[in-house]
Amino acid sequence: MAAFKPQWNDWCPGCGNFGILNAEQQAIIELGVDTKNVVVVSGIGCSGKIPHFFRTPISGVHTLHGRAIAFATGIKLSNPDLVVIVNGGDGDLLGIGAGHFVAAGRRNIDMVVILHNNGVYGLTKGQAAPTLKRGEKPKSLPRPNINDAVNPIALAISSGYTFVARGYAYDVKHLKELIKSAIKHKGLALIDVLQPCPTYNDINTKEWYDKRIYKLETLPDWDPVVKKPEEVNEKIKKAIDKSLEWGDRIPIGIFYQNELVPSYEERIKANSPAYLDYTPAKQLIEKEGKLTTIIDPLLKEREVD
């Protein structure tokens, strides 16, 4: 689906999704990536509409509930030259899509996952989503939430994501820089974006966040980047400890980054050296009027005596 045509944007006034969309567009433009090589993939939810609203000529796919990461993985493996960005809500990525969220981390495929984290299922009238804390009662719930919340930062790190950050939808400049860093990172990146939903979540509002948010990079000793293998455990521990800080102060910024882990593309190349030269999306599908596929080198690698 080409997304470069005017679309009516039906997000509610004040929705944090506007900030995420702006930051994403600016990041792509500022990086100078050829927009023909960018694919934005979404699932179902208010965030799922994001590919429709881009004003840059990107490609977008609005897929099934919880399946955006699986769909994006297929796109990236078919053409590893593409910049692939997944957008999903907390319900989409951490509820029905939680299995894909974890499996993607184990692969460390080179793409970006942007989590629109508002604590509710906004599209279906504000039910409790997986990031809503137990005991909280936004105005959309008749009684307080009885489920415990998932910590997206800790889950991503323990699943194998190698770039893990948190942004804030109303700090577009900071979020844009995080998205640029995530795109440049080699491996799988998560950005957990705190995204106020003024229609259904009257607890985690803009005013509530504005009083609490601070930037990790302002801490004098904060260094989330793994530079040698011996540092991995210490950096993971610090990142997860920081992700538990949620009260009067809430940190945003990069929690953990490790480019020493091979990406999925590198693992495939080691296992099947011809793969990257014969990726499916780059094959001729027709030659001299006949259907054809040039996969002989790949088949040869798979031959058994």
Question: Least Å distance between CB 7 and ligand SF4?
Answer: 14
Q: How far is CA 80 from CA 28, 104, 109, 118, 279, in A?
A: 17, 15, 10, 31, 8
The answer to whether 17 contacts ligand SF4 (rule: CB under 6 A) is yes
- The site string for ligand SF4 over 200-239 (x = CB under 6 A, - otherwise) reads x---------------------------------------
Question: Least Å distance between CB 45 and Mg ion?
Answer: 6
Question: Scanning the structure block, which residue is given the tokens 């960018």?
Answer: 38
* Helices (H), ranges, the chain: 17-31, 50-53, 68-78, 90-91, 98-107, 152-159, 172-184, 206-212, 232-243, 264-271, 296-302
Residue 15 binding result from Mg ion, ligand SF4, none, given CB thresholds of 5 to 8 Å by partner type: ligand SF4
Question: Least Å distance between CB 59 and Mg ion?
Answer: 24
Judged by CB under 6 A, the residue of 19, 48, 91, 122 near ligand SF4 is 122
Q: Which long-range contacts (CB under 8 A, 24 or more apart) does 129-137 make?
A: 129/89, 129/90, 129/91, 129/94, 129/95, 130/90, 130/91, 130/94, 130/95, 130/98, 131/90, 131/94, 136/203, 137/203
Question: Least Å distance between CB 13 and ligand SF4?
Answer: 8
Nearer Cβ to Mg ion, position 24 or 90?
Answer: 90
Nearer Cβ to ligand SF4, position 66 or 196?
Answer: 196
Question: Least Å distance between CB 145 and Mg ion?
Answer: 13
Residue 257 binding result from ligand SF4, Mg ion, none, given CB thresholds of 5 to 8 Å by partner type: none
Nearer Cβ to Mg ion, position 48 or 80?
Answer: 48
Judged by CB under 6 A, the residue of 4, 7, 9, 12 near ligand SF4 is 12
Show Cβ contacts of residue 154 under 8 Å, excluding neighbours closer than 6 positions.
240, 243, 244
The answer to whether 197 contacts ligand SF4 (rule: CB under 6 A) is yes
DSSP-derived secondary structure letter, 94: I
Other C-beta atoms lying within 10 Å of the C-beta of residue 136: 15
Counting residues that bind Mg ion (by CB under 5 A) gives 5
Q: Is 62 helix (H, G, I), strand (E, B) or coil?
A: strand
Select the span of 72-80, 138-146, 194-202, 223-231 touching ligand SF4 (CB under 6 A): 194-202
Judged by CB under 5 A, the residue of 23, 129, 150, 193 near Mg ion is 129
Residue 129 binding result from Mg ion, ligand SF4, none, given CB thresholds of 5 to 8 Å by partner type: Mg ion
Question: Least Å distance between CB 97 and ligand SF4?
Answer: 17
Tell me the pairing of strands 189-194 and 213-215: unpaired
The answer to whether 121 contacts ligand SF4 (rule: CB under 6 A) is no
Question: Least Å distance between CB 200 and Mg ion?
Answer: 9
Judged by CB under 5 A, the residue of 90, 110, 171, 265 near Mg ion is 90
DSSP-derived secondary structure letter, 111: -
Q: How far is CA 242 from CA 151, 156, 206, 263, 304, in A?
A: 11, 14, 22, 26, 50
The whole-angstrom distance between residue 157's C-alpha and the CA centroid of its chain comes to: 13
Q: How would you label 243-252 residue by residue, b for 16+ Cβ within 10 Å and e otherwise?
A: beeeeeebbb
- Interface ranges with ligand SF4 (CB under 6 A): 11-12, 15, 17, 46, 118, 122, 197-200
- Interface ranges with Mg ion (CB under 5 A): 89-91, 118, 129
